[in-house]
Structure 1
Amino acid sequence: MQKPVFLTRLVFSSALISSLASAPAIAQQPQVADTLRRGADSARTLTSVEVVATASGQGVTRSANAVTKADLRAAPAGTSALRVIEKLPGVNFQSAEPLGLYEWSNRVTIRGFQTPQIGQTFDGLPLGDMSYGNFNGLGIGRAVDAENINATSVTQGTGALGTASSNNLGGVIQYESEDPFNKRTASIRQMVGEDNARKTFLRADLGLRSLGTNAAVKGFVSFSRLDSDKWKGSGERFSPERGALFGSDGFLFDAAEHWQDHINTKVVALIGAHKFTAYYNFADRKEADYTDLSLQRFRQSGRDWDQFSSWSAAQAAAQSETPDEAYFHSAIGARRDHLGYLAADFGLPGDARLVVTPYFHTNDGVGDWHAPNYGATWSPDPIYFRETQYDTERRGVVARATATIAFNRLEGGLWYESNTANIRRVGWRLRDFSSSPDVDFDNVLRLFFDRTGDIGTTVAYLQNTNSVLSDRLTLTYGAKYLKIDADFQNNGITIANAATAPDTARPDASFPVKGQVLPQFGAVFAASPTDQLFANLSENVNAFPYSPQSGVYNTSPTAFARFNDATDPERATTFELGVRTRRARVEASLAAYTINYRHRLIGVAVCPLTATCVSSFANVGDVSTRGIEALTIVRLAPALALHTAASYNRSTIDDNYRTTEDDPTSEVESKGKDVVDAPRVLVSSSLRYLKRGFTAGFGGRYVDKRYFSIMNDISVPDYTLFDANVGYRFTGVRGVREVSVQLNVWNLFDKSHISTMGTGGFTVTGDSQTLNAGARRLVFFTVGTSF
């Protein structure tokens, strides 16, 4: 049934591209092109704070590495940039599927820091903490189409002072969108693969258009549709179609288990020394859930264990002694996002510049399960239908200015964001549990909660850069100020006919992060034209976990005062030093670091995933981290390069802690234990061949064992995966500029392994349903062309 759908898409795409390509071109004037280059170069540094232009981070006063457009294109169409950066030193990315699109399981750790402690920005704008519950941002896969990303850089230590993030305790990932092309172009990429995977990407570029002798404009618009079934399970999803967001199959065509419609448009206008950029993004998606496994279940049943497609099997499981081992196959997450910004980059007298970028982001979403009731008396049946509803609105502005005064290169800036996040969870009874999973949406069994968080974040910074010793030594120093106001409200009974509403007595609460001044110092010394030494010392704090459904407001009311009066925000002091070189055939970097991490909070699982209970955070106190990271790119021949990244990290808890502060018998002997989800050794190596349009790559990645209990009594084993790709770019084809074809194989030797951990939190000791199995061997084919 899929072949006609694919052919329909191909015909539709070809017709659209042909119509766009037939429009007449307008010649550009030379002075307009000069203006374009000048504006683009000036803005590129400012709007992304600190763009890393080379793999080893040349010229940067901290550890930093980058992947390019070519690296992103070497992956199958639709692959998240998060999957591509796992080749960089110290980066551990995990997901239950190979493209990195399943947000429930997407996790990235760097130097022992987990996802909520790593800042992420897109074109300099905040993406939040990448939490699944959608309260302060969105995943990169919804902020921009993967085909429109130009480059991605990773700062393994604390990012630049101007980073628009309140959670960049352990590094920053920066994504940069591609600017419109100077030439009018129509592009198409089509991916097909196993498990009904397919993505159609269409893009039309206006080309550079002169608006006079000193002005120009260019822009693009793109649309893509991505579909894929899970690599295991039934291949179809039970959806009780409730509303357009939940029941929709998107704009076009039949929907697979996972689908996403994506629209991007970007316009760049230049007037003299000024550059103005407008960007809009629309993403509409639904993803099907994989079952979260315990280690025992993975060992007993293998990686293919998944949710039940049989209602009778789900009924039996819900009434067994282990009702949370698997569920009926209705579990999905749906999200709809609008994101936009206007960036005004003003060229001021001398070399001064001012960039002001207001932005907005809205999100609506749901997460659904047919969940077991665990014997609860409020549910007459062993299974009920549960939905968590998300409604988020963010508005903010990022501004920064630079100017040279005497021998000082000054930079200052401000980030302010107002974020309102409403999250509600509702449970409905089934129409007839004994016969079918159909839901009676008129019978509300339970309003679990309805909460709103209002979070206001203010960051201001000032830094100075001096170049001395004939510009061989660059010193950068400064500080930033961070203040967060976070107020939470219980909305009470917002569904009048709810039979039960257990959360109505929860009081309103506030959890501010009081003003913090955080210094940073960095230096880079050019020992020779090819070799550099660098060092960086920085201080940073992390916002409290602010999700209204799973953060500090979801703790017991008696814990509110402890967070306000006795719990400080997570704080880290990072010192790193290193050396990097860039020569004709070798590019390399080596960095060593030490981190003093205080007030570490670890989310502890206290109930099954589908149950609703208070959150629990273990404040394990101080954590000491030491490590080393290395990157080498060796050009073995003009067409052959070897890329290798390796890291060693040891993150250990310094003290024992108590689960109940005043109870000595509750002490957990955590001193000396490794931090959860922090592999000590990571190694990635790949061989790439490129000659006369032919490309081929082969690589492997080793991930050391990882603990998922604080006491280190249980861990997932280490693993090594291999991938391969081969492709060819045809030029000189009549009627088109080029045609490219590419074949990718994920997990080449079909290694069974555990990917993500911590989906349901971590344990103090013992096993838990908090793991995802990694994908089996999968094959993808991508073809692209441009006119």
Structure 2
Amino acid sequence: MKSIRLSLVALACLSVYGWANSEAYTLPSISVTSDEAHALVEEEQDAANSVAVSKESIDKRVGPGATNPYKALDMLASVHTGQVDSYGLSLDQNSFRIRGLYADTFSRLALTADGVPSVVNVGQGAMGSILDMENIEAMNLTMGASKADSGFGFGNNAGSLDMRTKKASDTLGVMLKQSVGTEDFYRTFMRVDSGKISENTKLFLSASTSQADKWKGSGDTQRENVEAGLSTLLFDTVKTDILLAHNDIERNDYRALTYAQAKNLGTYYNYDFNPTLTSSAANNKYYYDFNRQHFKENLAQATFEAPLFEGTMSFKPYHIDTDGYRYAYNQSGNSVTKTEMEQEQNGFIAQYAQKIADADVKVGYWYQSIESIPPPTANKSYNIVNGKLVFSSWSMLNDVGNREIDSPFLSVKKEFDQLEVEAGIRYMRMTLGGVQSYTTTSGDVSDGEAIAHGTRISYLYADDTTLSATLPSLNFKYTLSDSIDLFAGYAKGYASPWIGPLFSIYKSNNATFRAKGISLQDIWDKFELETSDQFDVGAKIKGENWMIVPTLYHVVYNDKQVTAYDPAVNLTYYQNNAKAEANGFELSATYELSRSFELFSAFSYNQLKFTDNLTTTGGATLAISGNQVPDAPKILAKVGTTYKQNGFYVSPALKYVDKRYGDIQNIESIPSYYTVDVETGYVTKNFYGFKEALFSVSLQNLLDKKYIAIIKNDLDDTGTGGTSYYTGAPFTAVASITLKF
């Protein structure tokens, strides 16, 4: 910590010295189209549930870790983010809800980069965003179901987030950013732009290294990243952009609290995994280094665009692979489970766009294949002997088929004087790969070798099954006057089912299922795509120095996957048989007091509830109809200011999160909380030979509030006593220097 404090002091001194001895650089003047509240800077709003986020807002809100895109959205209406640490270097122990619905890339959120599906977070692996946020130029968030020609992923019921990458610059340039902070945090980022190598060719290369100690308990997080981008022109007509990225992340997990512990933060706020091994075998599974993970990821994607006939043809192929493992304590018994994940994802998006009869017409096709989706291919169980992990057995060994998606789409957009209409339709066909489980006497070898010497389990087998849905969308924008735009829209969304937990239930209770003549295939064939019907109406009203954006929405979720009772086997397990309903109101506003001073705010009321009761084991009724789903605050309120003058800026922001529940019965109540963050800095040009210099300080949770940041209830249906709670990070301070030359 001493070195960190010295670095903070040194950076502060440099900031003051630079301010006094350099040419001041005036930041761009504030505009009422600032995106802090409803993000309308770089592109016009084209739908009631669409929000654009500018580069300025990303840099200001993404946080010092600069890798978690969700953090850059937490001042928007209806967005609830939670982090177990302030740096957010990986995403799996961070939460993200949109309009109350849990947004996970494995099921409900389409996370894309330049329209191309990005990494999927599976099995709580430490797979964060593979892209450094310094390389993101802008983002667009769609809250809820997307238009037909966007939102490509395993689901978009919660929404879709598209990140637009920063392409190589036309001019030679170097950017160097160094950050240091509390908990021995440091991060070094460097990007080099070649400028034009030839008339049509340019490239960039970036690299970063990040590390932070856990703020409680023992262990840390380390992340290494390398990215490259090439822009060129092929055959004199084909505009080409290629993006490559490699990510390596290793970290120790944080330990969850029970509800009883979460209600007593005075005692359990710093509760975590054990820092040392003990003489107790039962306690040693909670040793911090037996609860860690390490993953490596690679991404390659390209965009080829060329004129064809009287339109434009684009083709976007992509490849993502992930390889790593996760150690975690076993809930039952004194052992540790190692889950190995090796995953490869390939696909493409082809699209043709042309103007026909004064209408913009797009027709396209999305294909994707991804391997080794849960259930996990390999779970190994280890006993703890003399403080070391000793291989015991294969707790799970599966050969899992690929999950494939075929999705053609059509979109038509036309203007009628003041009215703009966009209609689209997309067909979604998803094939869930089959599964074959094995037993093996092999030791601690690779899963491929274990399967090769294994024996098939005949009753733990299921063949492929296919799910499908037709997804229409319709949006209207009416320009009532120069200061008022009206919006209305409808879209049908979808979400993929969770397969792994259901497989585990069948595996553990196979004798009960088989006695009733129910095979794994019977369970497999009952999977459905969860769909949603979403309606939005809204307006954008602006004056000379102010703007307000009110929005109303209504959503019905069909075939929602929940843990439900099956009287045939007297068990509860995942089934697509529930309905839920969401209603809400959002209001975002900005007010420019002067060219230097701006206020921004966002308020939302989100009600997300099940519309039917559930049946528990034994046939009892669980009266949950009308209850708010877990971890979904009804009220979110955010307010902040930005002051800019002669290169200096300061932006404090307050965020209020309403009371939440940890269980579906709304018994485990978690109180409301608020946090205050402050971002401040100074920008100057011509700083000792550098083209531009930025000195900044980020203060997170300034008042050092103790609160529950994350309620781990992914399917929104966990009963009383089954939820995990994670505390939010304490006060965190980070200082950064960014140099451009």
* Partner of residue 767, structure 1: 721
Question: Equivalent of 1:439, from 389, 399, 418?
Answer: 389
Q: 1:169 to 1:370 in 2, by over 3 A?
A: closer
Partner amino acid for 2:498? Answer: P
Report the CA distance between 1:454 and its aligned residue. 1.2
* Partner of residue 233, structure 1: 217
Q: Distance in 2 between matches of 1:143 and 1:551?
A: 30
Report the CA distance between 1:507 and its aligned residue. 2.1
* Partner of residue 569, structure 1: 529
Q: State whether residues 427 and 445 of structure 1, in contact with CA within 8 Å, keep that contact through their aligned partners in structure 2.
A: yes
| 1:126 aligned onto 2:74 | no
* Partner of residue 455, structure 1: 403
Q: State whether residues 314 and 327 of structure 1, in contact with CA within 8 Å, keep that contact through their aligned partners in structure 2.
A: no
Report the CA distance between 1:329 and its aligned residue. 4.2
Partner amino acid for 1:81? Answer: P
Q: Distance in 2 between matches of 1:267 and 1:344?
A: 12
Q: 1:604 to 1:445 in 2, by over 3 A?
A: farther
| 1:277 aligned onto 2:241 | yes
Q: 1:341 to 1:765 in 2, by over 3 A?
A: closer
SS of residue matched to 1:83: helix
Q: State whether residues 419 and 454 of structure 1, in contact with CA within 8 Å, keep that contact through their aligned partners in structure 2.
A: yes
Q: 1:624 to 1:554 in 2, by over 3 A?
A: farther
Report the CA distance between 1:666 and its aligned residue. 3.0
Q: After superposition, where does 1:69-80 map in structure 2 within 5 Å?
A: 69-75=55-61, 76-79=63-66, 80=68
Q: State whether residues 710 and 763 of structure 1, in contact with CA within 8 Å, keep that contact through their aligned partners in structure 2.
A: yes
* Partner of residue 139, structure 2: 152
Compute the RMSD of aligned alpha carbons: 3.1
* Partner of residue 538, structure 1: 491
Q: State whether residues 427 and 471 of structure 2, in contact with CA within 8 Å, keep that contact through their aligned partners in structure 1.
A: yes
* Partner of residue 319, structure 2: 360
SS of residue matched to 2:134: helix
Report the CA distance between 1:210 and its aligned residue. 3.2
Q: 1:224 to 1:64 in 2, by over 3 A?
A: same
Q: After superposition, where does 1:77-92 map in structure 2 within 5 Å?
A: 77-79=64-66, 80-92=68-80
SS of residue matched to 1:269: strand
CA displacement 1:262-317 (0-9 Å, x = unmatched): 00000111365542001100001112100011121133423111111121276464
Question: Equivalent of 1:624, from 578, 581, 584?
Answer: 581
Question: Equivalent of 2:84, from 80, 88, 96?
Answer: 96
CA displacement 1:355-385 (0-9 Å, x = unmatched): 10111111101001354653xxxxxxxx333
| 1:415 aligned onto 2:366 | yes
* Partner of residue 224, structure 1: 208
* Partner of residue 385, structure 1: 336
CA displacement 1:379-422 (0-9 Å, x = unmatched): xxxx3332110000111001112111112211111110111116
Partner amino acid for 1:260? Answer: R
Q: State whether residues 497 and 527 of structure 2, in contact with CA within 8 Å, keep that contact through their aligned partners in structure 1.
A: no
Report the CA distance between 1:62 and its aligned residue. 3.2
Report the CA distance between 1:523 and its aligned residue. 0.5
Question: Equivalent of 1:113, from 101, 104, 109?
Answer: 101
Report the CA distance between 1:566 and its aligned residue. 4.9
* Partner of residue 668, structure 1: 622
Q: 1:517 to 1:158 in 2, by over 3 A?
A: same
| 1:597 aligned onto 2:533 | no
Aligned-pair identity in percent equals 20
Report the CA distance between 1:698 and its aligned residue. 0.5
Report the CA distance between 1:133 and its aligned residue. 4.2
User: Which range is displaced more, 687-696 or 157-166?
Assistant: 157-166
Q: Distance in 2 between matches of 1:760 and 1:157?
A: 17
Q: 1:574 to 1:55 in 2, by over 3 A?
A: farther
Question: Equivalent of 2:461, from 486, 508, 529?
Answer: 508
SS of residue matched to 1:120: strand
Question: Equivalent of 1:681, from 635, 639, 643?
Answer: 635
CA displacement 1:675-711 (0-9 Å, x = unmatched): 2221101111111112221010111111111112111
Q: State whether residues 144 and 493 of structure 2, in contact with CA within 8 Å, keep that contact through their aligned partners in structure 1.
A: no
Q: Distance in 2 between matches of 1:595 and 1:168?
A: 13
Report the CA distance between 1:482 and its aligned residue. 0.4
Report the CA distance between 1:153 and its aligned residue. 1.7
Q: Distance in 1 between matches of 2:508 and 2:425?
A: 33
CA displacement 1:181-229 (0-9 Å, x = unmatched): 1210111001100001110001110012333xxxx11110001000011
Question: Equivalent of 2:183, from 195, 198, 214?
Answer: 195
Question: Equivalent of 1:289, from 248, 253, 277?
Answer: 253
| 1:520 aligned onto 2:473 | yes
The answer for unaligned runs of 5 or more in structure 1 is: 11-51, 237-256, 375-382, 606-613
SS of residue matched to 2:91: coil
Report the CA distance between 1:504 and its aligned residue. 4.3
Q: After superposition, where does 1:255-266 map in structure 2 within 5 Å?
A: 257-266=220-229
User: Which range is displaced more, 579-588 or 700-709?
Assistant: 579-588
Question: Equivalent of 1:656, from 585, 596, 613?
Answer: 613
Question: Equivalent of 1:465, from 408, 413, 423?
Answer: 413
Partner amino acid for 1:363? Answer: T
TM-score by length of 2: 0.85
* Partner of residue 271, structure 2: 305
SS of residue matched to 1:527: strand
Q: State whether residues 453 and 548 of structure 1, in contact with CA within 8 Å, keep that contact through their aligned partners in structure 2.
A: no
Partner amino acid for 1:144? Answer: L
Q: 1:73 to 1:277 in 2, by over 3 A?
A: same
The answer for unaligned runs of 5 or more in structure 2 is: 11-37, 566-570
Q: 1:647 to 1:769 in 2, by over 3 A?
A: closer
Q: 1:732 to 1:105 in 2, by over 3 A?
A: same
Q: Distance in 2 between matches of 1:307 and 1:635?
A: 48
Partner amino acid for 1:649? Answer: N
CA displacement 1:436-473 (0-9 Å, x = unmatched): x2223xx43343333424100111111211111x2x11
Q: Distance in 2 between matches of 1:572 and 1:521?
A: 14
Q: After superposition, where does 1:161-180 map in structure 2 within 5 Å?
A: 161-163=148-150, 164-180=152-168
Partner amino acid for 1:743? Answer: V
Q: 1:112 to 1:187 in 2, by over 3 A?
A: same
Partner amino acid for 2:253? Answer: D
| 1:342 aligned onto 2:295 | no
Partner amino acid for 2:221? Answer: H
* Partner of residue 540, structure 2: 580
Partner amino acid for 2:475? Answer: G
Q: Distance in 2 between matches of 1:553 and 1:527?
A: 57
SS of residue matched to 2:71: helix
| 1:698 aligned onto 2:652 | yes
User: Which range is displaced more, 482-491 or 738-747?
Assistant: 482-491
Q: 1:104 to 1:478 in 2, by over 3 A?
A: closer
SS of residue matched to 2:168: coil
Q: State whether residues 620 and 657 of structure 1, in contact with CA within 8 Å, keep that contact through their aligned partners in structure 2.
A: no
Q: Distance in 2 between matches of 1:604 and 1:707?
A: 20
Q: State whether residues 293 and 771 of structure 1, in contact with CA within 8 Å, keep that contact through their aligned partners in structure 2.
A: yes
Q: 1:520 to 1:583 in 2, by over 3 A?
A: same
| 1:743 aligned onto 2:703 | no
Partner amino acid for 2:196? Answer: L
* Partner of residue 609, structure 1: none
SS of residue matched to 1:646: strand
SS of residue matched to 2:460: coil
Q: 1:766 to 1:166 in 2, by over 3 A?
A: closer
Q: Distance in 2 between matches of 1:716 and 1:550?
A: 32
SS of residue matched to 1:296: helix
* Partner of residue 44, structure 2: 58
Partner amino acid for 2:439? Answer: I
User: Alignment length, in residue pairs?
Assistant: 681
